[in-house]
Amino acid sequence: MHRQVIAWFDTHARDLPWRRADAGPWGVMVSEFMLQQTPVNRVLPVYEQWLARWPRPADLAKEAPGEAVRAWGRLGYPRRALRLHGAAVAITERHGGDVPTKHAQLLALPGIGEYTAAAVASFAYGQRHAVLDTNVRRVFARAVMGVRYPPNATTAAERRLARELLPEQESTAARWAAASMELGALVCTAKSEECGRCPIAAQCAWLGAGKPEHEGPPRRGQTYAGTDRQVRGKLLAVLREAVAPVPQAVLDQVWDEPVQRGRALDGLVADGLVEPMEGGLYRLPMT
């Protein structure tokens, strides 16, 4: 499959700023943090503003972590901003401000798991690693395993399969990682797959089996309206816009239900996203 998928990628890959040579390893790392559970069209403007303000890890490391949360805007899952800030501090302190090249060094950075370490090593440095995001897992599930969806959580069997499918040549493996991810994002999508456009349709086990329906656990869609996540987002939006600490009374206005509002605010404090102060004031974290 390597040749067909990479040839397709050479023709159809989107021109994204983190794929350009001038993005550098830091640009790749920033994009990987931002793209987790967030679509490209929402990431693009925030990514460009972020890199314009903090073109190197040391630039971000000098700022208070609350500034990273503020600049994160409405991308969602704002703990990613704190983790990216923590990674920038560690890169500055441990690696002289340069994103490390070794997978083990990347994995040792705060806030970086197996996927992000493999993605940065592969996309920034052209190394040979299995990069398993949701899109890649879906492509492998259909093309190789013959099922519509992968398991809800990544399994050891999926990791073994991904390693088995890796091309031997390092540069080809890195290209394969990006190409298989793009195929899942643009063609082999979750709900509206376009098999007529797929470069490996003739080899796809799922298509060959007649596209059987999913037989595993129900696919749970994410809800937002009325959840603690929505309340947290509203509270953070007030704090991001504020130039001074915000009184409790102002935060009380964002949500009518006091128990849920209090729970959401407590959660933000526990996660380090909000800093309580004396006198019932709150601000984004400074330390």
Q: Please tell me the pTM assigned to this model.
A: 0.93
Which pLDDT does position 223 carry in this prediction? 78
Q: Which two tokens stand for residue 93?
A: 């302190």
Q: In 3-state terms, what secondary structure has residue 247?
A: strand
Which pLDDT does position 227 carry in this prediction? 92
Domains and CATH numbers, the chain: 12-125 (1.10.340.30), 134-209 (1.10.1670.10), 228-283 (1.10.10.10)
Catalytic residue annotation:
32
Which pLDDT does position 224 carry in this prediction? 81
- Encode pLDDT of 29-47 as tens digits: 999 999 998 999 999 999 9
> Which segments of the chain have a pLDDT < 70?
219, 221-222
